[in-house]
Structure 1
Amino acid sequence: MSLKIKIVFITLFITLISCERKINDLEFEKNVMTEILPSLIDSTCIDSRILNLPPPLGKPIYDKDDNYVGRDTTEIKTERENWKKELARIKNDTSKIVIAFNPIIETAEESNQNELVAHFGKKIIPDSIQIVTENYRIDFEKIKLNQNFKLRDLSKFPNRDTIWKTKYKFIFSGVFSVSRIQFDKEKKYGVLSAGFVCGRLCGQGFRIFIKKVNDKWIIDEVEGTWVS
């Protein structure tokens, strides 16, 4: 066998091994995402009805020139009692809370690799070979969520601001998204980005650190990254 043929054979072998590694890594990540997704939603998503029910502070008072001078608290006790009852009603409501979700899991932020080391310690070695620059689709319909949350494909909702102006026959709470997971080499620790948008100017971003404990993936910490 000539040297040239040997080189081609070795190159082909390495390519096949690399492809197999990518597939194995991707399947591993999909399994972790499937396992951790219910906890991610519980940690970041909110029933929008609660957001739209701020505690009463009393009616604002203005002078004859329409300048704010204070609040009328003469009925604040009754207002607070009504507020507490409505809050309890919402929390005890077993109706499904629908969240729009993009099933295409997009690329991870480049900074997440450094954040993984900063959070879990210098002994953590990020998996630099891991492919986190490609998107993949997750079959979220098969994932059982906690509480009353229910995911629906984002593509089934109106585009842009229309999504917030549309009246739905169900309780629509917002839009949830997650990035791919950056793991360490031993696949015991990970970090990903997530976001929950509850209105045109309402939302929050997160960096979520996860770890494997007793063969189960759990959330170690949720860190806020942006607020709107």
Structure 2
Amino acid sequence: MKSSTGIFVFIILLSFFGCKKKEIEKVDKLQFEKSVINTVFLEIVDSIYMDRRVMLPPPSPRTDFKTNKKDTIGYNNELKKYWHYQDSIRNDKNRILIGVYDDVKKISPQETEILPKEINLSKYSYDISKETDEYKFDLKTFANNKKFDFQYTSKYPHQRDWDLNDKNSSMPVGTISVSRIQFNKTKTSGILSAGASCGGGRCGRGFLVIIENKSGKWKIAKIIHTWVS
């Protein structure tokens, strides 16, 4: 009887340590993924972000319908104001306020459908847990970035309600979202989706981002434009 009890306890211990090992491996994998996204995040933002302050096109010439003539004087004045404002934005040394979606979720359905057409997936080991497991993106790493001021989008009204004509500096100029990364079997390449918007529900873009580790440094290898709104 004692022998049976000892075997039972041994099996329980093996099961416990086996589960513990899997939990540790899962944490290690997540920490690795977080370190990779932190490495490439700024490069992704620089490549795809949208600034609602510069999204509106130049004004069109106004026509006097009584005379059927264009108001060139008024138009030229409006055009000067437009380009002066555009230049002021480009020369502005203040940090650019970007809203970052709080949670890092699975690769979006749009990109999932496109993946097999764009990428050879035979070298990738798809992690199904990333379909459900999410985590909050940690912005503390980028708190002192000189170009961008990153804030969680949850601090503001939903971006679809932003007014593209609003020059209020307290609101982000656009939003960024990134997904979980699916790595290849050797952890030297990864795939994620990313999105950018300037608000108002009228301008947004989606991307597949291919990243690679070359000489110990993670960099963007390719960006595939997948959708626009």
Compute the TM-score of the two structures, normalised by the length of structure 1.
Answer: 0.77
CA shift at 1:15, angstroms? 2.1
| Residue matched to 2:99 | 100
1:130 and 1:28, CA in 2 relative to 1: closer, same or farther beyond 3 A? farther
Which residue identity does 2:88 align to in structure 1? Answer: R
For 2:154 and 2:43, how far apart are their aligned partners in 1? 23
CA shift at 1:149, angstroms? 2.1
CA shift at 1:91, angstroms? 0.7
3-state DSSP of counterpart to 1:88: helix
Task: Confirm or deny: 8 A CA contact 1:104 1:137 kept in the other structure.
Answer: yes
Which residue identity does 1:37 align to in structure 2? Answer: F
> How far does the alpha carbon of each residue in 1:130-169 deviate from its partner, in whole angstroms, 9 at most, with x for none?
6453111232122267673211122221346555498744
For 2:123 and 2:54, how far apart are their aligned partners in 1? 39
CA shift at 1:177, angstroms? 1.4
For 1:149 and 1:4, how far apart are their aligned partners in 2? 58
Q: Between 165-174 and 195-204, report the one with greater CA deviation.
A: 165-174
Which residue identity does 1:125 align to in structure 2? Answer: Y
| Residue matched to 2:220 | 219
For 2:108 and 2:59, how far apart are their aligned partners in 1? 40
| Residue matched to 1:72 | 70
Q: List runs of 5+ in structure 2 lacking aligned partners.
A: none
Task: Confirm or deny: 8 A CA contact 2:52 2:199 kept in the other structure.
Answer: no
For 1:161 and 1:112, how far apart are their aligned partners in 2? 21
| Residue matched to 2:49 | 45
| Residue matched to 1:55 | 58
CA shift at 1:45, angstroms? 0.8
CA shift at 1:94, angstroms? 1.0
| Residue matched to 1:88 | 87
CA shift at 1:34, angstroms? 0.9
| Residue matched to 2:208 | 207
1:160 and 1:19, CA in 2 relative to 1: closer, same or farther beyond 3 A? same
For 1:114 and 1:187, how far apart are their aligned partners in 2? 23
For 1:77 and 1:100, how far apart are their aligned partners in 2? 35
Task: Confirm or deny: 8 A CA contact 1:105 1:138 kept in the other structure.
Answer: yes
Which residue identity does 1:29 align to in structure 2? Answer: E
For 2:25 and 2:110, how far apart are their aligned partners in 1? 23
1:211 and 1:112, CA in 2 relative to 1: closer, same or farther beyond 3 A? farther
CA shift at 1:182, angstroms? 1.0
1:130 and 1:114, CA in 2 relative to 1: closer, same or farther beyond 3 A? farther
| Residue matched to 2:191 | 191
Task: Report which of the two has the higher share of helix.
Answer: 2
For 1:41 and 1:123, how far apart are their aligned partners in 2? 28
Which residue identity does 1:148 align to in structure 2? Answer: K
Alignment size in residue pairs: 222
Which residue identity does 2:99 align to in structure 1? Answer: A
- Percent identical: 28
Compute the TM-score of the two structures, normalised by the length of structure 2.
Answer: 0.77
Which residue identity does 1:25 align to in structure 2? Answer: K
| Residue matched to 1:174 | 174
